[in-house]
Amino acid sequence: MGQRERWILFLVGALMGVGVLWVVQTNSQPKRDAKRQVREGLNLPGMMYDFAVTSKGFYGHYVLWESVETRPDGAKVRSIVTGGRRHYEASGREMAQEYLLIRETYAAGTALAEPGPVTDYTFQFADRIALKLKPGHQAAEVKLPSGDFAQPVAGKPDEALLALKRWHEPLEKTPWAELPKVLAALRADPAVASAELISIDWKKEAEIIRANSGQK
């Protein structure tokens, strides 16, 4: 076989290889897109599902603030604030960090430590508040002394969202223990019918992960 024939065979082989890769890429792209959409729809970092499913406590340098409350039955509720899931723009640039409020419940006599076991969890966004507005009022009327304004929710004139952006700056001085007071002040606002931190259904999200990972 001459040099010309070998060169032609090489080109044909290369083109066939490119064709096979293109077919594989085309067929697998919808699956990758679907998995990406699932990931983008989740609110918690992966490690949080892991410790919640295994009933462990969340400890370490990621904890920005914590407090402990003892209930009349002896159970202890540990509240912590930590960073949330990282989000990125289409260009790859990281978006502003978000923060989570986690409440862990320990049965009476259980040591507050990572092994737990934790009997119950609640997850909420620590930096955003869902508002119900009273009839005749608008989101623009609601403002915190920090300068944070409520924003209207598209298609829902009686709802608004207030993101605590300026309130928690600088981060190292954020008065997380004052969150109940912030909520109380908003509830007392003449334009506000209710104000609540936005909750995250971690069990539902864990089921979504399980369903899309082939786990039983």
**Contact predicate 124/183, CB 8 Å:** no
Q: What is the pLDDT of residues 11-21, one digit of tens each?
A: 555 556 656 56
Q: Residues near 89 by Cβ (< 8 Å), separated by ≥ 6?
A: 95
pLDDT exceeds 90 at position 8:
no
Q: What is the pTM of this model?
A: 0.77
Ranges 23-27, 152-156, 211-215: which has the least confidence: 23-27
Q: What residue type is 31 in one-letter code?
A: K
- Supply the pLDDT for residue 129: 97
Q: Please count the CA atoms within 13 angstroms of the CA of 65 that sit on its side-chain side.
A: 15
**Contact predicate 146/167, CB 8 Å:** yes
DSSP helix/strand/coil, 15: helix
Q: Which residues of 97-191 form beta strands (DSSP E)?
A: 99-106, 120-133, 150-153, 156-163
pLDDT exceeds 80 at position 3:
no
**Contact predicate 110/174, CB 8 Å:** no
DSSP helix/strand/coil, 210: helix
Q: Name the pLDDT band for 148 (thresholds 50, 70, 90).
A: very high
| Cα–Cα distance measured from residue 19 to residue 133, given in angstroms and rounded to the nearest whole number | 58
Place of tokens 């990281």: 94
Tokens standing for 10? 């090489």
Place of tokens 């409440």: 103
| Mean pLDDT taken over the chain | 83
Q: Name the pLDDT band for 104 (thresholds 50, 70, 90).
A: very high
